[in-house]
Homo-oligomer: A and B are copies of this chain.
Amino acid sequence: MTDFFRGIAPIRHEGPEATSEFAYRHYDPDEMVLGKRMEDHLRFAVAWWHSFAWPGTDPFGGQTFQRPWFGDTLADARMKADVAFELFEILGQPFFCFHDADIRPEGASFAETEANLMAIVDYIGQKMETSRTKLLWGTANLFSHRRFMAGAATNPDPEVFAWSAATVKSCMDATARLGGQNYVLWGGREGYETLLNTDLSREAEQAGRFLSMVVEYKHKIGFKGAILIEPKPQEPSKHQYDYDVATVYGFLKRFGLENEVKVNIEQGHAILAGHSFEHELALAASLGILGSIDMNRNDYQSGWDTDQFPDSVPEIARAYYEILRAGGFTTGGTNFDAKLRRQSLDPEDLVLAHVGAMDVCARALKAAAALLEDGRLEVARAARYAGWDAPENRAMLTSDLDAIHARVIAEGINPEPRSGRQERLENLWNRFV
């Protein structure tokens, strides 16, 4: 037991009238929502990197956090893990997520780095034996070290491709060993700084083959979790290949992987790509590739990824509504890929940022569930397309331009617009959030 969170007791559900900051007002793991426990809907995860590894830097500022576990040794890494599991217990969190680089010190060679990883994976595995917190997903950090500056799978240097492939093998092994329910790939350096030195065709071939190898390895080792790609349009690169859900879908189709890989969608990345979060979720669901979510918002007045904890119930309700419509999570969950503001120095800030975010998500989930149960929104949506139920209309979808042209002439078709009722639907929505 470290003393980092000294004096902070586990957070309990105390209801909306709770007086303490250290209470869940809305999140109650056992509350039933649409016939399922709230915890089993939301499947919250803490992100190891932002919560325990990020030092508070930004492009114009250095470290603001001073954590006792900051350092390069295995002992530091073990203390970090100790603190992590203490946070999981305080929050009652069912899941966590990690990159290899978050949990282990870098070594002088690949072999040493991998040995460090496996040592810490063992340590975490032991901690998990007495913890209720499971692994939602693991992933490899293929973007921070200078060797990845020009990409990982898409690097012009085949040695970096090799290093990356070997690293992903290690991380998939580690994820499988810890019972992870998904394996995620985020290609922060899979993109370019300038087209002038970039061969898009070669890099796409490299990326396609790399992902295929990941899928093959999954089957080889019998990993049952889902493989997920996390789209992001840009930052750190000028332009990234996994721009958004639609782009990833086209990539999967191109390489025949659309039934093997799904997406992990982050609100902040959706915004940066010019979409709303609910757009990306609804699109992924309609394409059959909705996997999991990173629940961290962007600031709408900032042009970069601010990775803030969610704070808007109406916005998040839109997201859970799409997730519930799609049937809810299977292997996926709600990962807080969210970092404290760099001025939020105290251990209490770390705990309460999660508490507030979980309450926002709980309210949003309940609102979305109530609206779905209410049913009026779905009735209104279906009614708008009801004309397509008529056989002569449905038949047009298996017809041809000539025949439809003839029908328009023959029947004197002249369509009359009908109200889209957007504001009325927004009013309906607002009764629930």
Contact = CB atoms under 8 A, between A and B. Distances in A.
Contact of A344 (B57, B165, B315, B423): B423
A420 B150 contact: yes
Contacts of A146: 56, 61-64, 417
Contact of A390 (B158, B238, B424, B426): B158
A344 B420 contact: yes
A39 B129 CA distance: 60
B303 A430 contact: no
Interface in A195-223: 195-202, 204-206, 209, 213-214, 216-217, 220
Interface string A288-331: 00000000000111111110010111110010001000000000
A395 B239 CA distance: 28
Interface stretch (A27-35, A83-91, A131-139, A267-275): A267-275
A148 B424 CA distance: 21
Contacts of A25: 431
Contacts of A345: 417-419
Given A166-B404, A343-B150, A396-B165, A61 B236 contact: yes
Interface residues of A, number: 160
B417 A64 contact: yes
Q: Which of A59, A214, A251 gathers the greatest number of chain B CB atoms within 10 Å?
A: A59
A216 B400 contact: yes
Contacts of A396: 158, 161-162, 165
Given A274-B274, A286-B204, A385 B156 contact: yes
A147 B304 contact: no
A70 interface: no
A247 interface: yes
Contact of A253 (B156, B253, B414): B253
Interface string A384-418: 11011010011011111110110111001111111
Given A158-B387, A217-B402, A246-B247, A312 B309 contact: no
Interface string A32-66: 00000000000000000000000011111111100
Interface stretch (A72-80, A120-128, A174-182, A355-363): A355-363
Contacts of A382: 199
Contacts of A419: 343-346, 348-349
Contacts of A309: 423, 426
Q: Which of A145, A156, A233, A315 gathers the greatest number of chain B CB atoms within 10 Å?
A: A156
Contacts of A246: 243, 246-247, 250-251
A109 interface: yes
B286 A408 contact: no
Contacts of A398: 209
Contacts of A206: 397
A14 interface: no
Given A197-B421, A311-B429, 5 more contacts: A57-B59, A147-B417, A149-B343, A234-B302, A300-B300
